[in-house]
């Protein structure tokens, strides 16, 4: 069903029907230790999933929303290889990958005027740009970049807000999948990634930020977000690298 009128959920469960009750691979431990900051974390593989936030052309390519705000998108493109390795690792381990896209309905009914009118961008949300209408569902710019495109069967959550829980079925999907621990990747670190991660933390999930698979248009903001997330004994969550995560999930 359509939750809050703003849900566009594609696919069900994960591709290929391999279950999370299956060992990650050939005898891998079900509760490996992730070498994370600020301290190691016991992973519960049957309850672990990857959330890839907003790796859309509108943020990652010239002519999109990010660029319309005056940002240099090349900074974000540097994380594409690490993010691809992280996604491939979760797929190889038989663990779920959930993708999100920040976008709005073509009639803008889920776009608050306060969001549309914010700032002084060269193009506003809903305006016609080189990749179609800016941040509008179904337009080329709002889709996920080809390098990280979801597989058939992977969940894609379209979200009208910065956080993935607001006006979507994201919370229900996490429960349906039996997840308890979430790895976060995507853009931008201090906006959509951090907003989603903080709410997931409040909802009882153990959250891990993949530091080399997330990026900001402002390097200082990324660094600050990483530090504030793991400060005070992992007050929002943990941080780890793609290599550390891949090793822990046995790929």
Active site residue 115: no
We find the least distance from the C-beta atom of residue 187 to ligand C5J, in angstroms, to be 5
Catalytic residue among 54, 143, 158, 212: 54
We find the least distance from the C-beta atom of residue 133 to ligand C5J, in angstroms, to be 16
Q: CA angle 175-180-183, nearest 5°?
A: 110
Residue showing the smallest CB distance to ligand C5J in the complex: 192
Active site residue 159: yes
Quick one: 190 or 212, whose CB is closer to ligand C5J?
Answer: 190
Confirm if 148 and 80 have CB atoms less than 8 A apart: yes
Write the DSSP string, 172-228: HHHHHTT--EEEEEEE-IIIIIHHHHHHHHHTT-EEEEEEEEEE-SSHHHHHHHHHH
Quick one: 196 or 244, whose CB is closer to ligand C5J?
Answer: 196
Query: How distant, in Å, are the alpha carbons of 38, 54, 60 from that of 75?
Result: 26, 15, 9
Question: What is the spatial distance between Cα 19 and Cα 25, in angstroms, rounded to a whole number?
Answer: 12
Quick one: 102 or 154, whose CB is closer to ligand C5J?
Answer: 102
Sort 195 into a burial class: Cβ within 10 Å, 0-12 / 13-18 / 19+: middle
Catalytic residue among 143, 159, 212, 222: 159
Quick one: 216 or 244, whose CB is closer to ligand C5J?
Answer: 216
Confirm if 17 and 11 have CB atoms less than 8 A apart: no
**Binding footprint of ligand C5J on the chain (CB under 6 A):** 54, 59, 102, 162, 187-188, 191-192
Quick one: 188 or 239, whose CB is closer to ligand C5J?
Answer: 188
We find the least distance from the C-beta atom of residue 194 to ligand C5J, in angstroms, to be 9
Question: What is the spatial distance between Cα 192 and Cα 37, in angstroms, rounded to a whole number?
Answer: 21
In the numeric block, the tokens 């906006």 are attached to: 191
Question: What is the spatial distance between Cα 43 and Cα 29, in angstroms, rounded to a whole number?
Answer: 10
| 234 sits in which H/E element | helix 219-234
We find the least distance from the C-beta atom of residue 63 to ligand C5J, in angstroms, to be 16
Catalytic residue among 110, 143, 158, 192: 192
We find the least distance from the C-beta atom of residue 162 to ligand C5J, in angstroms, to be 6
Which residues are known to be catalytic? 54, 159, 192
């Amino acid at each position: 069903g359509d939750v809050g009128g703003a849900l566009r959920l594609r696919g069900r469960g994960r591709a290929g029907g391999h279950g999370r009750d299956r060992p990650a691979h050939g005898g891998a431990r079900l509760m490996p230790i992730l070498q994370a900051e600020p301290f190691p974390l016991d992973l519960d593989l049957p309850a672990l999933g990857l959330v890839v936030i907003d790796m859309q052309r509108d943020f990652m390519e010239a002519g999109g929303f990010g660029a319309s705000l005056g940002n240099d998108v090349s900074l974000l493109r540097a994380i594409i290889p690490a993010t691809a390795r992280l996604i491939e690792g979760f797929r190889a381990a038989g663990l779920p990958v959930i993708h999100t896209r920040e976008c709005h309905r073509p009639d803008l009914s889920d776009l608050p005027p306060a969001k549309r009118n914010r700032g002084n961008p060269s193009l506003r949300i809903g305006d016609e740009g080189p990749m179609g209408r800016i941040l509008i569902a179904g337009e080329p710019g709002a889709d996920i970049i080809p390098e990280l495109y979801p597989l058939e069967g992977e969940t894609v959550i379209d979200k009208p807000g910065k956080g993935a829980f607001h006006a979507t079925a994201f919370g229900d999907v996490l429960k349906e999948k039996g997840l308890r621990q979430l790895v976060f990747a995507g853009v931008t670190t201090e906006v959509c990634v951090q907003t989603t991660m903080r709410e997931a933390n409040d909802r009882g999930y153990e959250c891990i930020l993949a530091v080399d698979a997330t990026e900001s248009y402002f390097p200082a903001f990324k660094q600050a977000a990483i530090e504030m997330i793991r400060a005070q004994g992992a007050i929002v969550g943990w941080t780890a690298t793609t290599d550390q995560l891949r090793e822990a999930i046995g790929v």
